[in-house]
C-alpha cells in the first residue's frame, strides 16, 4: 500500500510542478548528497541533472541484500548509458523496521518530504 501512496503523490507533484516552486526542505536526519541536484518538472517534463538525488529506502529483511546488488546494477547502467557524464547521488531515507529501530518511527519524518522534493525514490523489497 505504501508504494501506491508514493505513486499517487508523485502524480500529484508532477501535475503541480511541485519541485519548481518549493526549495529543498530542511531535513532532521536525512543527508542530502553535496554533489546532487533535484530532478525538476517543467510543463510536465522531467529535467534530470547530471547528478540527480534519488532517495531510497533500503528495506527490511532481504532488502539490504537486494539493495546492495541493485544499486550496483543501477550505477553501472547509468555509467554505460551516459558514458560517465551522469551519476546518481543516492540519499537514504527511512521507513519500516530500520526506521523504527533507529528513530522509533515506522515512517521517519524526512522520508515523505524527500520523495516529494526529489521527485523519485527507490525501495528494496
Q: What is the pTM of this model?
A: 0.75
User: 56 near 122, Cβ under 8 Å?
Assistant: yes
**pLDDT tens digits for 3-44?**
565 565 556 555 555 544 456 788 999 999 999 998 887 888
Given a cut of 50, whether residue 1 has pLDDT beyond it is no
Nearest Cα residue to 110 out of 24, 51, 40? 24
Q: What are the E-state strand segments in 63-102? A: 89-92
As to burial, measured by CB atoms within 10 angstroms (0-12 exposed, 13-18 middle, 19+ buried), residue 56 is buried
**pLDDT tens digits for 58-79?**
988 888 899 999 999 999 999 9
Given a cut of 80, whether residue 80 has pLDDT beyond it is yes
Number of domains making up the chain? 1
DSSP 10-71: HHHHHHTTHHHHSPPPPPSS----TT-B--EEETTEEE--SSBEEEEE--STTHHHHHHHHH
User: 30 near 46, Cβ under 8 Å?
Assistant: no
- So what's the pLDDT on residue 95? 93
State which residues form the domain around 59. Answer: 2-123
User: 94 near 77, Cβ under 8 Å?
Assistant: no
- So what's the pLDDT on residue 44? 82
**pLDDT tens digits for 86-101?**
999 999 999 999 999 9
For residues 80 and 12, give the distance between their C-alpha atoms in angstroms, rounded to a whole number.
32
Amino acid at each position: 500500500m505504501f508504494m501506491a501512496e508514493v505513486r499517487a503523490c508523485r502524480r500529484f507533484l508532477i501535475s503541480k510542478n511541485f519541485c519548481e516552486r518549493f526549495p529543498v526542505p530542511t531535513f532532521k536526519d536525512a543527508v542530502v548528497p553535496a554533489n546532487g541536484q533535484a530532478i525538476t518538472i517543467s510543463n510536465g517534463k522531467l529535467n534530470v541533472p547530471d547528478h540527480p538525488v534519488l532517495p531510497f529506502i533500503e528495506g527490511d529483511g532481504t532488502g539490504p541484500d537486494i539493495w546492495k546488488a541493485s544499486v550496483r546494477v543501477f550505477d553501472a547502467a547509468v555509467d554505460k548509458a551516459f558514458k560517465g557524464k551522469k551519476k546518481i547521488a543516492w540519499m537514504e531515507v527511512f521507513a519500516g523496521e530500520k526506521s523504527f529501530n533507529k528513530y522509533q518511527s515506522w515512517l521517519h519524518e524526512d522520508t515523505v518530504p524527500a520523495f516529494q522534493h526529489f521527485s523519485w525514490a527507490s525501495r528494496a523489497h
